[in-house]
Every structure is written in structure tokens, then in C-alpha cells.
Chains A and B, each alone.
Chain A
């Protein structure tokens, strides 16, 4: 399965949310979409989910233009938005039954899928309780279950790990990664560690532009030789304008890791880049 994005642009008045994006996304592995806040990740995902019309460009799903024929995508789509919408007065089971009917699943098939998903996502015990009483993580799991109903071939998850505890995040990543072998699974996040272990394809977005598209190892390799480590006695000693990847208090002082073309302090040593360091390097780094 192929999802081809051609020259996609989206503008809101004078502000350009997406600029001339061209990508090809394939099934076979989880695709991570990373970028800082305001990069255009949600906008891109909403266009792919047929919720927004772009100002320009095409999106082809196995050759079919989904902007002209959105149903071609909708029949195969499982969408998990950033804030999981629910009907608070319904129980988890009732809400999933509602979503199943909206996705036009047969009742018998829906019942089986709901039971299976609730078991997988540890919702069986709370299935009959109203959603208004659910914690953020539980609602997220209901949202994931709702997205997975109907066995979708394209799964789009917009920052699905928000509100999940570390164990839940690992479970979700593993679940989505397992589904990606025969589906297009696109997961957006601004937390790189969410995709580090599971993504086989990575897209880095900043200010509406694609800065990188490829395997994570290639991104990491690009940052090789551009990551530096040194120790300072306190935070005030970190040179201004440094792109700091991490600053950890240790017994000897503060262990600082920066990214950039040149070290910004003396007495530095080269460090092996992590994927997060590589993203920071490609995005132009933060400052301290």
C-alpha cells in the first residue's frame, strides 16, 4: 500500500502551515512524523485524514486521489486525533459500539472486535463505566480502540502517547508497530523517544517543510561528528546560544551535550548521537 503526497501546501491567510511537501509513505513499518510544536504535523495528518482541504497539491492512496474521492481513504482509515473525543455519558463499550456502527461494521463482527480490542487494551474491567470518569490514559486507549475498529489499512495517530504513562506508551508503540507490517501506520509526536525504538521510516517537519525523510539510522548518521559533550560547574557557565540536547546534574558538575557544526565550549569531547540529538541538529537546535 502506497500513500503519495505531491507538492502539498496549506496556508491560512498569509501564514504558510505546509510548504510544498512531497513524500511517499509505504506499509511495512511504522512511520514516525516528528517536529516541534507548530511544525505542521497535525495539519498534515488532518489533510491525510480528509478533514482539511489543502491549498494546493495531491494525495494519492494506491493511485486514487483522496482529495477528490475522500471515501477511498475513509473506508480504510483509522484516525486517532490529538484530543480523544468521546461522549462522556456513554460507557466505553457503548461508545465503541457507536463508532462501529458509524464505520458500518456488522453487529456480530463489531461485537467480536470490540471485545478483542478491549481485552488487548486492558479496558475490559471498565467497559461499562461512563467515559466521563476515565483518566486521560484510559480515554486514549478508548480512542485507540475506536481507531482500530474495522481493521483499518491506514492508521493515523496524532500524538497518541500524550497522557500515557511509560508502560502504556511502550504498549501502544508495540501495538502500532505490530500493525504496521501490512498497513500504513503514521504516528506523529514531538517526543522523539516515542518513535526511536519502533519507527522504520522517519519524517522530520519544521515550519511546514520536510527537513528529513528516511530511515532513522540515516538521520543519526547525519548528526555524527556534530554532537559534543562537556562538563560545567553550573548552568550559568553554559555558553549562550548553544544548542543544548541535554544538561544533567552529576557529582562533578553539569554534564552538557550540545549539537552543532562546531563545539561551543572548550574541553569538549565528541559524543555518539542519539536520534533525539539528530533531530535537534536537523531542526537547527534549541538554545539555552
Chain B
């Protein structure tokens, strides 16, 4: 009873701490905004398309919850993972973990409390998505209602996956290899997510069966298999034929004739799928127990042989040296970004860089570039927010011009790292006279540090950037040529123009905010 009380106490405090932050409100707003984006369209880029040559897309209100659940589960799993994966780190950084270690509460009880809190937080975001879907349904199909089963069940099948995501995030925080390497954890989760979706789709299309199919069903934490089965059942009831195409976030321009309306009736009742979801929850609980075993019982003695990463040479600029004043700062920023990375990180970064140099260009464009930038997340994620988090802004504001100067140097350093990371792609596209590829790669290389600086400066946190870049990398892995195009076209030109504008605007706004902070009296 006492242990349960401790578990509930940890869960309640952690949940309150999360949902009272501005970032939670921002995510809720983002979730509602995205539900409008999830509305299936009859042509062009759409969130969900189902056999567009057979069925009228988005013809019925039942499409709304199904589309929201399918698209929402993918995004919720990604940015939900990034959002909840700091549960233990926050306690470690604030010192609350030390305090808890001196109490009788065991590690397992503590982590189960965190699991409950993280899961409840993700459930809240799911509930917001459901509310947004309801609103969209009312706007798009006024006066047409769905039964509770038809509306709620697509969302309910996502819930066990959210428990799994929370547990996996805890494991990443406690496992020694991933504890300090947030980028690696994110990259691993992206791979896991892609694998899960691929397996689910393969099982749904019958490409795998038997044990493989069962495995895919249990670890289908996005709920896709059950949803696709339900969609298939609805499609078969109309045409008598199996489905041939279900796409999420796709671009199509099929114009068919004699298209049929497709109506969904929620999830098909299935004891097998329900059992698999319960198994997934049980696996999540086991993962949490494993995380508890990996969480250290006591602090490690802090090694004093390695000093904290302080810039080794920070020159105080003299009047005569004003034109080159930024080089000292630039060097410091580079050192702070790269000096804290481990040998393992450097080895993987080097491996990815070499892979970009020698792999077929198609793989580089569609896969490797996304992985490179996912790997660079720990380098970029503190841009713009490190000064706020460490309290340095209080000091920088007392030095004339230091705030915008530091921000600019930070951007310089980030852009340099980004361009060096993209060097193989830039060199290869240049040599092949692939101007579209070169330009898009160059623009993207400048876009990422601008995005990081902007989000870090305005949110004073690294998480917004981590989550957005994660989503971008995930989309890049699924949408060919999203980051590095292979030819000029209207859409690629538009994308590049928007990216350049965004890069400039974000950098400008970041510097403006810094200038404003410098000039403010309080």
C-alpha cells in the first residue's frame, strides 16, 4: 500500500510538473492544428489516401477519426517519445533524483510513477487530437454524427502503443549507452518506429505470416495493423476486393471515374488484436522493470580528471582587434558544441560522413542525409537555449553587444558544422552538375542551425528543436527527395524558396530578440 502511494505520488507530481509548463500547451495547440491537416483530400498531398482510383477520398465523416488516428499515432509516437524522454533527466538535473534516492522509495516504484505520468501526458495529447478531430468533423460534415464506437475505437488502439513509448523512453534514459546520448536514443527510436510500421504493413498485405505476423502485431505500437485490417474490411464490404493501396502523407493525382464512397465503422472487434495490445502493455511493464534495474542506485563519483568543457582560449577583444572579435567567440562556440561529444559519437559521425561519400546518391538523398542530421541533434539542440538554461544571459546582458554577438557566433559555428556534415553531398552534386541537389542541400544545411537557434532562443529549451527535427527526419525517410531534390520543379522550387525565407526570418527574429534582451532594463 505504501509503495503504491509512493508510485502515485511520483506520478501525480511529475504529471502536474509537465502539464503546467507552457510547452505542454504549445503541443496541445500543435496537436489541434495538425488535426486540420489530417483531413483527407481528394487530390494532391494528403494525410491519408485509400485506393484513390476506387474510392472517393474523405467522403464520409468516418474518415476523420481514422485519418487522425493513423497520422496522429505516427506523429504522437515520434514527438511523444521526444517529449517524455526527459522524465528522469529532469530530476537528475534539478537534484530531485538525489533527494528521492535518500528516501525509502525503490527505483522500480519511482520509474513506475514516471511511466504513469508519461503515459497520462501522452493520453492527454491523444485526447486533444480526438477533440480536434471532433471539431474538424463538425466543420467538414455538419450535422452528420458517428457512433461512439466508430469515433473512439481508432484512437483507443493507439493507447497501448503510448504505454510502450513511455516505457521505451524510460529505458533510454536509464540504459548506460543512451543516458547521455539523446540523439542516439532518438535515432534508435526512429529506426524502431520505421521497423514497426514496415512490419505492420507487411503483415497487413500478407507479405509475412505466422510468427512474424504475430510479432508484427504485438509490436505494432502505432496500431496500424488493426486499423488497416479494419479499413480492408470496410473496403471489402463495398467492392468485394482486397485493398491495394493505403498511404499516409502521400501525394497523388489520380482522377478516376465511378468512384465509390467508403464508410468505416471503427475497428473490427478482434480478440486476437486485443490480446496483442495487452501483451504490448505487459512488455512495457517489463521494460520499465529493466529500466529500474539499469538506473544507478547511487551517483557515480564525478571524475575530476576531466574538467567541464570551458573554452580554452577566449580572447578579450581589444579595440584594435574589433574586426576579428567574433573569431574567439566562434572558436568557443565550436568547442562547446563539439567538445562534449564522446568518441563513440565521433566514430558514428565519421561513418555516416564516409557513407555519404561512397553510397549511391539515391540512398544518400533519401536516407543518409536524414540520419546525418538526426545524429547531429545533440550538437545543435543547445543552440540559443544554453545561455538561458545556464543563467549566462544575466552576465551577457551586462556586456555591451554580447547577446546578439554570441547568437551570431553560435549560428556561424552551427552553420559551419552543418556545411561540413553536408560536404560529401555538396561535393558530389557539384561534380555531377546537379544544381538542384546542390542548392537544396546547401539551403537545408543553413536551415537547420537557424531553426535550432530560433527555437532555442524563443522557447529557452532544446526540446522543441529536437522534436521538430525528428519529425522532419522521419518525414524525409518516408517522402523521397524531401531534403535533397534531384531536379528543379515547381514544388521543389517553392520548397527551396520557402526554406530560404524561413532561414532568414528565423535568424533575423533570433537576433532581434537578443537585441531586445540586451536593451531591456529588467
Chain A residues close to B by CB (< 8 Å): 10-15, 46, 49-53, 55, 70-71, 74-75, 77, 79, 81, 83-90, 94-95, 97-104, 106-107, 130, 146
Q: 27 pairs across A/B with beta carbons < 8 Å?
A: A12-B305, A14-B305, A15-B304, A15-B305, A49-B102, A50-B102, A51-B98, A51-B102, A52-B301, A53-B298, A55-B301, A70-B298, A74-B102, A83-B95, A84-B95, A85-B94, A85-B96, A85-B98, A90-B17, A90-B20, A98-B12, A98-B13, A102-B9, A104-B2, A104-B3, A106-B5, A130-B20
CB proximity to A under 8 Å, residues B44-88: none
Task: Decide if A10 touches B301 in the complex (CB within 8 Å).
Answer: yes
Asked if B105 is at the interface of the complex by the 8 Å CB criterion, the answer is: yes
Q: Which of B12, B95, B99, B101 has the most CB of A within 10 A?
A: B99
Judge whether A101 and B10 touch: CB under 8 Å: yes
Q: Knowing that A52-B299, A79-B102, A94-B13 are A-B contacts, what are 4 other residue pairs whose CB atoms are under 8 Å apart, sorted by A's residue number? A: A13-B304, A49-B102, A51-B98, A87-B16
Residues of B within 8 A of A74 (CB): 102-104
Provide the residues of chain A in CB contact with B147, threshold 8 Å.
none
Closest to A82 in B: B95
Which of B10, B12, B99, B304 sits near A85, CB closer than 8 Å? B99
A104 touches B96 (CB 8 A): no
Q: Mark B195-208, 1 if CB is under 8 A from A, else 0.
A: 00000000000000
Q: Is the CB of B104 within 8 A of A51?
A: no
Q: Please state if B299 and A98 are interface contacts (CB–CB under 8 Å).
A: no
- Given A13, A55, A87, A107, which contacts B13 in the complex, CB threshold below 8 Å? A87
Tell whether B100 is near chain A: CB-to-CB under 8 Å: yes
Binary contact track B103-129/A, C-beta < 8 Å → 1, others 0: 111000010000000000000000000
B302 close to A (CB within 8 Å): yes
Contacts of A11 in B (CB 8 A): 301
B17 A89 Cβ-Cβ under 8 A: yes
**Considering the chains assembled together, what is the distance between the CA atoms of A52 and B20 in angstroms?**
33
- List the A side residues contacting B104 at CB < 8 Å: 71, 74-75, 103-104
Q: Report the bound CA distance from A49 to B13 in whole Å.
A: 23
* B91 surroundings in chain A (CB, below 8 A): 85
Q: Cβ of B95 and Cβ of A87 under 8 Å apart? A: no
- CB neighbours (8 Å) of A99 from chain B are 99, 103
Residues of B6-59 contacting chain A, CB below 8 A: 6, 8-10, 12-14, 16-17, 20-21
Q: By the criterion CB–CB under 8 Å, are B20 and A102 in contact? A: no
Alpha-carbon distance A85/B251, docked complex (angstroms):
50
State which of B5, B17, B101, B110 has its C-beta within 8 Å of the C-beta of A50: B101
- Is B13's CB under 8 angstroms from A95's CB? yes
Q: How far is the CA of A11 from the CA of B302 in the complex (A)?
A: 10
User: In the complex, what's the smallest C-beta–C-beta distance from B434 to chain A, in angstroms?
Assistant: 50
Residues of chain B with a CB closer than 8 A to A86's CB: 94, 96
Least Cβ–Cβ distance between B459 and chain A, in angstroms: 16
Contact-residue size bin, chain B (C-beta under 8 Å from the other chain): 35 or more
Cβ–Cβ < 8 Å partners of A98 in chain B: 9-10, 12-13
Q: Which residues on the A side are within 8 Å of B13 (C-beta)? A: 87, 90, 94-95, 97-98, 101
The interface residues of chain B lying within 8 Å CB-to-CB of A95 are 13
Residues of B near A94 (CB, < 8 A) are 13, 16
Q: In whole angstroms, what is the CA distance A14 to B21 when docked?
A: 43
Choose one: A13, A15, A100; the contact of B9 (CB below 8 Å). Answer: A100
* Closest partner residue, chain B, to A100 (CB atom): B9
**Complex CA distance for A101 and B16, rounded to whole angstroms:** 15
Judge if B303 is at the interface, Cβ distance under 8 Å: yes
Q: What residues of chain B lie closer than 8 Å to A12, measured between beta carbons?
A: 301-305
Measured CB to CB, the nearest residue on chain B to A55 is B301
Q: A53-B298, A98-B9, A102-B6 are in contact. Are A87 and B305 (CB under 8 A)?
A: no
**B485 nearest CB across to chain A (Å):** 44
Chain A residues with CB below 8 A from B105, complex form: 102-104
A83 to B96, CA, bound (A): 10
Q: Collect the chain A residues with CB atoms within 8 Å of residue B102's CB.
A: 49-51, 74, 77, 79
In whole Å, how far is A271's beta carbon from the nearest beta carbon of chain B? 39
A52–B302 alpha-carbon span in the complex (Å):
10
Q: Which residues of B contact A46 (CB under 8 A)?
A: 299
Least distance between A157 CB and chain B CB atoms (Å):
12
Contacting residues, chain A, for B12 (C-beta < 8 A): 98, 101
Contacts of B21 in A (CB 8 A): 89
Which B residue sits closest to A73, measured CB to CB? B102
Cβ contacts under 8 Å, A70 to chain B: 297-298
B305 touches A13 (CB 8 A): yes
Residue from A50, A77, A85 in contact with B95 in the complex, judged by beta carbons closer than 8 Å: A85
Cβ-closest 3 pairs across A and B = A101-B9, A85-B95, A98-B13
Chain A residues with CB under 8 Å of B95's CB are: 81, 83-85
Chain A residues closer than 8 Å to B20, beta-carbon distance: 89-90, 130
**Measured CA separation A11–B2 after assembly (Å):** 37
- Beta-carbon contact of B16 and A89 below 8 Å: yes
A87 to B8, CA, bound (A): 16
Expressed in whole angstroms, the minimum distance between the Cβ of A137 and any Cβ of chain B is 18
Tell me the complex Cα distance, A130–B394, Å. 23
Contact A13 B303 (CB under 8 A): yes
A77 to B104, CA, bound (A): 9
Partner of B10 from the list A52, A88, A89, A102 (CB cut-off 8 Å) is A102
Once the chains bind, are B94 and A104 in contact (CB under 8 Å)?
A: no
Q: Which residues of B contact A130 (CB under 8 A)?
A: 20
Cα–Cα, bound, A50→B103 (Å): 10
Closest CB in chain B relative to A39 CB, distance in Å: 15
Q: Which of A51, A85, A87, A103 contacts B298 (CB 8 A)?
A: A51
Cβ-defined contact, B9 with A51, below 8 A: no
Most A CB atoms within 10 A — which of B3, B10, B94, B301? B301
Complex CA distance for A107 and B12, rounded to whole angstroms = 14
Q: Which A residues are in CB contact (< 8 Å) with B301?
A: 10-12, 52-53, 55
Complex CA distance for A86 and B105, rounded to whole angstroms: 17
Q: Give every chain B residue within 8 A of A71 (Cβ-Cβ).
A: 104
Complex partner residue of A104 from B6, B14, B16, B302, CB under 8 angstroms: B6
- For the complex, give the distance between the alpha carbons of A49 and B97 in Å: 13
Instruction: Name the residue on A nearest B7 (C-beta).
Output: A101
Of the candidates B14, B21, B102, the one having the most CB atoms from chain A within 10 angstroms of its own CB is B102
- Verify B5–A101 contact, CB threshold 8 A: yes
- How far, in whole Å, are A77 and B224 apart by their CA atoms in the complex? 50
- Let me know if B5 and A107 touch, CB within 8 A: yes
* Chain A residues within an 8 Å CB radius of B103: 74, 77, 99, 102-104
Closest to B19 in A: A89
Complexed CA–CA distance, A83 and B5 (Å): 27
Q: Chain A's nearest CB lies how many Å from the CB of B64?
A: 34
Q: Give the distance in Å from the alpha carbon of A74 to the alpha carbon of B101 in the complex.
A: 8
What separation, in Å, do the CA atoms of A101 and B105 have in the docked complex? Answer: 9
| Closest CB in chain A relative to B298 CB, distance in Å | 5
Encode B296-318 as 1/0 by CB contact (under 8 A) with A. Answer: 01110111110000000000000
Complex Cα–Cα for A13 and B306 (A):
10
Nearest CB of chain A from residue B90's CB, rounded to whole Å: 9
**Minimal beta-carbon separation of A151 from chain B (angstroms):** 13
Q: Do B305 and A101 have beta carbons less than 8 Å apart?
A: no
The residue in A10, A11, A77, A90 that gathers the most chain B C-beta atoms within 10 A of its C-beta is: A90
Q: Shortest CB–CB separation between residue A154 and chain B, in angstroms?
A: 10
